[in-house]
Amino acid sequence: MPDYDPNNIFAKIIRGELPCHKVYEDDRVLVFLDIMPRAPGHALVIPKNAARNILDVDPDDLAHVARIAQKVARAGMQVFDADGITVQQFNENAGGQVVFHLHMHVIPRKENVAMKPPATEKEKPDVLADQARRLAAAMQTL
Ligand code: 5GP
C-alpha cells in the first residue's frame, strides 16, 4: 500500500488550508459535509491523525470515528426527516477510495429515493452552510 500523502484534500481541510462546512469537531475527529453529496446531509467523519484508510488507521481512532458516525447518523435522521442511513467506507482504488485519508460517509436516506452517483454535482455553498448548521445543532443535543 502506498504511504500516506500529507497533501491530500482532507489533510489540508484538517490543517485549515482548505475550507469545509463543519458539523462537529473534537480532539480526534472532524465531521464536515461532502461537497458533492449523494443525498442531502451527506457527511464525512474523519480522524485528525494521519491514516490512509482502514488498513493503517489506529484502531482507537477508527473506534472513535465509528462512535461519532453513530451520532451523525442520529442527527441526520432528525434534521433531514430521514427514513434510514447509509454508511460507506472505501479502501484503496480497487475498493472505491478516491481521497486517501480515511473517511466514513454518513448519508441520510428517504424511502424509495436513490442516491446520486458519486461526484455528480457540487452543492451550493449556502445550502451546505445551512445543512451543516442544522446538523451541528442536532449533534449538541445527542
Ligand atoms: P471516496 O474516497 O470515499 O470514494 O470519496 C471521497 C468523497 O470526498 C466523495 O464523496 C467526494 O464528493 C468528496 N470530496 C472530494 N473533494 C472534496 C472536498 O474538497 N471537500 C469535501 N467536503 N468533500 C470532497
Query: Residue-wise pLDDT tens for the chain (142 aa)?
Result: 899 999 999 999 999 999 999 999 999 999 999 999 999 999 999 999 999 999 999 999 999 999 999 999 999 999 999 999 999 999 999 999 999 999 999 999 999 999 999 999 999 999 999 999 999 999 999 8
In sequence order, what are the residues at sequence separation of 6 or more whose Cβ sits closer than 8 angstroms to the Cβ of residue 11? 5, 50, 101
Q: What is the DSSP letter of 89?
A: -
Does the annotation count 42 as an active-site position?
no
In sequence order, what are the residues at sequence separation of 6 or more whose Cβ sits closer than 8 angstroms to the Cβ of residue 126? none
Atom number in ligand 1 closest to CA 33: 22
Instruction: Please name each of the domains of the chain with its CATH number.
Output: 9-140 (3.30.428.10)
Residue nearest to atom 20 of ligand 1 (CA): 35
pLDDT at 142: 86
pLDDT at 86: 98
* CA 84 to centroid of ligand 1, rounded, Å: 21
- Pocket lining for ligand 1, CB < 6 angstroms: 9, 20, 32, 34-36, 90, 96-99, 103, 118-119
